[in-house]
Amino acid sequence: MEVAPGVHSIPAGSSKFMGMYAPNVFLVIGDRAALIDSGYFDAQTTGERLDYLMRLAHLKLAHILITHPHPDHIGGCWAIREATGAEIAIYAAGAAHLKNYGIAEDRLLADGETLDIGGAIIKVIHTPGHTSDSVCFYLEESGILFTGDHIVGFGTSVIDTPGGDVAQYIESLKHLLNLNIKLICPGHGPLIREPERKIRELIDHRLEREQQVLNYLERGRRSVAELVSEIYPELDERLVELARKQVQAHLTKLVQDGRVTVAGDSYILE
């Protein structure tokens, strides 16, 4: 499906994903084409993506650009590379993580680098926070930003500790406010047509969550587990680990900021 001129959203299937939204896979078409992320590993959904690419008979897929090396964003990249000859390109810091999945990149990307696919120029923007090696891809001319999991189309992104970092996450969001973004194509969920509002909401959400953590610490909650049960009451068991990571990420920032000290498993307000 073409979601903007020269930008397609490709079905990534929903068979393997536990959450609400399957990963989004986008295709940017110029004289050559670039895939943004590659969805799941499984043969069926990878086959669906390949079918889509093959139907665009004129297409010369040059790049498979990875927003970050999480399994639901890199799966299938090897099979698509084999079938199309496209190069796998990832931000340099992410290459080691890619290797954990048995995948070798063809090209390392740097912050600020541009890729010219003829008729479209794709800029790499390092946006650490969800993970330390997350990047966004930006079509400056049309104001379209591909965000991976840095910004998702529903709710908020997970700060995936270790590696993820709340302070960096907020800084990365603030950096995006300097750009003239008209449309966000996120790693999961629907397209975001009011980018600035969404980005400001995400920053506000993190600052509110931080204040919440501070408030509970003030009331004598000390451990990650105590904070999780206060902040996320009646949480589905399957989401506890994610909630724990969020609270841990906020505590790490507060310790870095010198507002909280840590003694063993206890966090204490300064």
Q: Is 206 within 8 Å of 167 (Cβ atoms)?
A: no
Answer yes or no whether residue 150 interacts with Zn ion by CB under 5 A.
no
Q: Is 111 within 8 Å of 124 (Cβ atoms)?
A: yes
Answer yes or no whether residue 188 interacts with Zn ion by CB under 5 A.
no
Segment interacting with Zn ion (CB under 5 A) among 96-104, 149-157, 210-218, 246-254? 149-157
Query: What is the closest distance, in whole angstroms, from the C-beta atom of residue 6 to Zn ion in the complex?
Result: 25
Q: Is 125 within 8 Å of 70 (Cβ atoms)?
A: no
Token pair in block for residue 149:
């999991």
Answer yes or no whether residue 133 interacts with Zn ion by CB under 5 A.
no
Answer yes or no whether residue 149 interacts with Zn ion by CB under 5 A.
yes
Q: Which of residues 41-70 bind Zn ion (CB under 5 A)?
A: 70
Segment interacting with Zn ion (CB under 5 A) among 42-50, 54-62, 146-154, 172-180? 146-154
Segment interacting with Zn ion (CB under 5 A) among 9-17, 31-39, 141-149, 258-266? 141-149
Count residues contacting Zn ion (CB under 5 A)? 2
Cis ω for the linkage preceding 233 (within 30 of 0): no
Instruction: State how far the Cα of 86 lies from the Cα of 103, in Å rounded to an integer.
Output: 14
Answer yes or no whether residue 37 interacts with Zn ion by CB under 5 A.
no
Q: Which of 75, 70, 94, 71 is nearest to 35 (CA)?
A: 75
Q: Which of 101, 70, 105, 67 is nearest to 86 (CA)?
A: 105
Residues found near Zn ion in the complex (CB under 5 A): 70, 149
